[in-house]
Amino acid sequence: MVDHVLVPMDESPLAERALDFALEVHPDATLTVLRVVDYVEESYKAQMLVGPDEIRERALERADALFEEVRERTADHGGEVRTVTEFGKPSRIIPRYAAEHDVDHIVLGSHGRSLVSRVLVGDVAQTIVDRAAVPVTLVR
């Protein structure tokens, strides 16, 4: 039985589909929606014009906005919904978070929203599948 599902999210339509999938397939499980902020990608978006503190602040603001949308979408979910922001490389953070927090299943979109994510995502998704100690579902 799946009690705890990890749904890594960004602002992409595929991440939204992954959340919808998790809600439908695991209606009573605890869902942890994880936003992983990659400083390299965030620096690229900021065009290197701001420092690390500003990058962190902007990323947290976007995560808060994302989590507000998540709370609205999951209002009728039968289980607990948690929102978490972590900083680092998604391919490392996601499997580690799953292992450290008794996650039973990971559901994620098959690629992220940015061009940088799309170029790298095959490797990221494959790395998550390879490193995770629990089942991983990729949603397209």
**What CATH code is carried by the domain that includes residue 105?**
3.40.50.620
pLDDT, one tens digit per residue, over 76-101 is 999 999 999 999 999 999 999 999 99
Query: If you average pLDDT over residues 35-51, what whole number do you get?
Result: 72
Using CB atoms within 10 Å of the CB of residue 52, give its burial: 0 to 12 exposed, 13 to 18 middle, 19+ buried.
exposed
- Model confidence pLDDT, tens digit, residues 110-124: 865 455 555 544 578
- Name the percent of the chain lying above pLDDT 70: 86
Name the residue range of residue 110's domain. 4-139
pLDDT (mean) for 39-67: 79
Q: How many domains does the chain have?
A: 1
**pTM score, whole prediction:** 0.87
By the 8 A CB rule, do 116 and 81 touch? no
